[in-house]
Amino acid sequence: MQSRWQDDDANACHGELALRAYTSRLLGQDPSLVLHGGGNTSVKITETNILGEAERVLYVKGSGWNLETISAAGFTPLRLEYLKQLAQLPSLSDTEMVNQLVTHQTRSAAPVASVEAILHAILPHPWVDHTHADAIVSVTNTADGERRIREIYGDSVVVIPYVMPGFDLARICADRFAVEAGVNTIGMVLLNHGIFSFGQSARESYERMIALVGRAEEYLQQQGAWQHESAAAAAAHGMDLARVQAALRLDISRAAGVPMIVARHADDRRLAFARRADLAMIAQQGPATPDHVIRTKRLAMLGRDVAGYVARYAEYFQAHEPHANERKVMLDGAPRVVLDGELGLCAVGTNAREAAIVADIYEHTIDIIQRATALGGYQALPARDIFAVEYWDLEQAKLRAGGPRAPFSGEVALVTGAASGIGRACVESLLARGAAVVALDLNAQVAAMHNSANFLGLQCDLTQEVQFTQALVQGVECFGGLDMLVLNAGIFPGGCRIDALAGDEWHKVMGINLDANLTVMRECHRFLALAPGGGRVVVIGSKNVPAPGPGAAAYSASKAALNQLARVAALEWGADNIRINSLHPNGVFDTGLWTEDVLAGRARQYGLSVEEYKKNNVLKTEVTSRDVAELAAALCGPLFARTTGAQIPVDGGNERVI
């Protein structure tokens, strides 16, 4: 455990709050200390209020902020003396505690304070840091965790038994601290939860956290519990595993009631963990720290029996719900973490970002479980304690803060020819609706088109079948399956009349516009048939299908053949609940094909200005890539749920087509 403190960076901070944000970010940058919203920090500052009176103010991390990226605006100012009086009450309900926190902040626009705010208030030191460090929970999630913590730290920390976060925990900490804290005390260990450090300065509190966690890491090393084995992964049989994964995703999505992303992680380390002989023992104890439960659920699913997992989840709910203070509604019973000897680790979320959070948390959980096991046995909190946190309104509120569900949330789309023009616009329209998108293009720049967990850009030559199947397998590994397919890739060679049309030219156009699309459709079919909400295919055709033009024989013939292929697919795939519809765009000029020069030349040919040429249709309107893409996305949505085999023009109206 290394300190990340830099004098230059610290000196650049103006004021205590900026410094508070700085060392909070240092904690947040180390995922072995805090993960995804875990941990919190505070500082106590004297400020002058509007009446001119000096007042002690506690600035504590606001909920919804991550330590990794927090700024001064992420801290909530609370009246410290009032909070200390609150801590004297014998009890306080969650609702009233939140109400008291909100009504005693000194800035109305600040975020709602962390639920651990009162705990920060009762600690006498001005600077307080709190993390869920892997090393601490590795040591405390064991049968004799408390003894080990006392052995490691002696009188430098106060040890607190597990109590659910919130008012009761703050009360117990206040009582214990008053009795046990002495001149050597620099921190506080919360068994099965995490650790606090504190000090007179930002640096002192931060460096004490690093030193305290470092001592637990050294202890794990001395006990031979730090490194663990990893086994070489079995040779991956990509397509077969991808099918297994997509079938698993269908079962999980049905159990969840909505489509889910199922991301597979099969590196050596995670495969080795999933294959451990004692997995049923060590991976069925519970999470490393209670607030992970809202992301990972209490237990990982071992193997692929989703129905069995759901039944056990319902039993767990029925066993613990009657003891809750108020009636609870059962959450979906689908697993969020799957451990399987063949698949490795699968992380489940309602979108790719959530699945990535689950994967991160469980990666650390694997370390913690293995180290605690090496110490003599991983032992998480009893199920009743985990249930209390899982069904705690204040935890569920964190998930609800994500806002309403996007229409294609949890669904996966594959778009070909995705780096430019209509394909690029389709990627944007699908991402905007919450879909995870696998974008394929011959152009390598496709990989860097979007920086989003929902986006995977892969360079791929669709005429090379092996390249395509590899890309498909990679897409499935990343997101779990395939729900939507947009067949967009195609070429439009320069004008050439039939009497001069060379065989090579003809075959090249057919190879890309027709043959490659057949391969894509055939290979995607098995995955589309496993789509939780039914598979959807959109074919980007052409006005040339109903109304061909002279000089475009190869292009028109290829698009017409593709159109016929799509119609047959609509007939054959209906039984698999896959819809396939075609769009016939025309005069879409904001694509790579149409440079200013080409456009000007073509307009001159027709005796029109460029502006007139662009709107040379019945409605006298311009048709953009975005117009086509929005319609393609709508075709995948509920509005067209009962439409298959349709061909829809998107051309501003063409007299020959009409």
Given the complex with Zn ion, which of 39 and 199 has the nearer CB atom?
Answer: 39
Q: How far is the CB of 248 from Zn ion (least distance, A)?
A: 33
Given the complex with Zn ion, which of 33 and 202 has the nearer CB atom?
Answer: 33
Alpha-helix residue ranges (DSSP H) falling in 352-441: 352-375, 383-390, 393-400, 421-432
Distances (CA, A) of 284 to 192, 245, 277, 369, 379: 16, 22, 13, 10, 10
Given the complex with Zn ion, which of 123 and 374 has the nearer CB atom?
Answer: 123
Q: How far is the CB of 422 from Zn ion (least distance, A)?
A: 49
Q: How far apart are CA 274 and CA 364, in angstroms?
A: 14
Q: Which of residues 171-200 bind Zn ion (CB under 5 A)?
A: 194
Given the complex with Zn ion, which of 194 and 417 has the nearer CB atom?
Answer: 194
Q: How far is the CB of 130 from Zn ion (least distance, A)?
A: 6
Given the complex with Zn ion, which of 194 and 649 has the nearer CB atom?
Answer: 194
Given the complex with Zn ion, which of 121 and 569 has the nearer CB atom?
Answer: 121
Structure tokens at 48: 């002058």
Q: Which is nearest to 627 in space by CA: 547, 526, 540, 551?
A: 540
Given the complex with Zn ion, which of 194 and 541 has the nearer CB atom?
Answer: 194
Q: How far is the CB of 138 from Zn ion (least distance, A)?
A: 16
Q: Phi/psi class of residue 405: alpha, beta or left (left: φ > 0; alpha: ψ in -120 to 50)?
A: beta
Given the complex with Zn ion, which of 37 and 199 has the nearer CB atom?
Answer: 37
Helix then strand then coil, % of the chain, to nearest 5: 45, 15, 35
**End-to-end CA distance of the chain, in Å?**
71
Q: How far is CA 434 from the centre of its chain?
A: 11
Q: How far is the CB of 132 from Zn ion (least distance, A)?
A: 6
Structure tokens at 294: 């809202």
State the amino acid at position 321 in one-letter form: E
Q: How many CB atoms lie within 10 A of CB 401?
A: 10
Q: How far is the CB of 77 from Zn ion (least distance, A)?
A: 21
Number of residues that bind Zn ion (CB under 5 A): 1
Q: How far apart are CA 489 and CA 493, in angstroms?
A: 13
Q: How far is the CB of 19 from Zn ion (least distance, A)?
A: 22
Residues in CB range of 167: below 8 A, 6 or more apart: 89, 91, 92, 94, 97, 118
Q: How far is the CB of 286 from Zn ion (least distance, A)?
A: 16
Q: How far is the CB of 157 from Zn ion (least distance, A)?
A: 15
SS3 656: coil
Q: Which is nearest to 18 in space by CA: 40, 38, 45, 52?
A: 45
SS3 274: helix
Given the complex with Zn ion, which of 68 and 477 has the nearer CB atom?
Answer: 68
Q: How far apart are CA 621 and CA 607, in angstroms?
A: 18
Decide: 59 and 42 in contact? Cβ < 8 Å.
Answer: yes
DSSP per residue, 188-216 = EEETTTEEEEEESSHHHHHHHHHHHHHHH
Q: How far apart are CA 658 and CA 637, in angstroms?
A: 26
Q: Which of residues 193-252 bind Zn ion (CB under 5 A)?
A: 194
Q: How far apart are CA 50 and CA 15, in angstroms?
A: 20
Q: How far is the CB of 115 from Zn ion (least distance, A)?
A: 9
Strand-pairing partners, residue 348, are 262
Query: DSSP letter at 546?
Result: T
Q: How far apart are CA 135 and CA 165, in angstroms?
A: 20
- Please state the φ and ψ torsions of residue 429, each to the nearest 5 degrees: -65, -35
Given the complex with Zn ion, which of 194 and 421 has the nearer CB atom?
Answer: 194
Q: Report the chain's C-alpha Rg in angstroms.
A: 30
Given the complex with Zn ion, which of 35 and 438 has the nearer CB atom?
Answer: 35
Given the complex with Zn ion, which of 62 and 194 has the nearer CB atom?
Answer: 194
Q: How far is the CB of 448 from Zn ion (least distance, A)?
A: 37
Q: How far is the CB of 165 from Zn ion (least distance, A)?
A: 6
SS3 584: strand
CA angle, residues 527, 346, 241, in degrees to nearest 5 = 45
Given the complex with Zn ion, which of 37 and 194 has the nearer CB atom?
Answer: 194
Kindly provide the residue ranges of all beta strands, DSSP E only, lying in 29-74, ordered along the sequence: 40-48, 54-61
Q: How far is the CB of 389 from Zn ion (least distance, A)?
A: 11
Residue nearest to Zn ion (CB): 194
Given the complex with Zn ion, which of 194 and 652 has the nearer CB atom?
Answer: 194
What track of x and - describes contact with Zn ion for positions 369 through 408 (by CB under 5 A)? Answer: ----------------------------------------
Tokens 């948390």 correspond to 361
Q: How far is the CB of 87 from Zn ion (least distance, A)?
A: 17
Chain positions contacting Zn ion, by CB under 5 A: 194
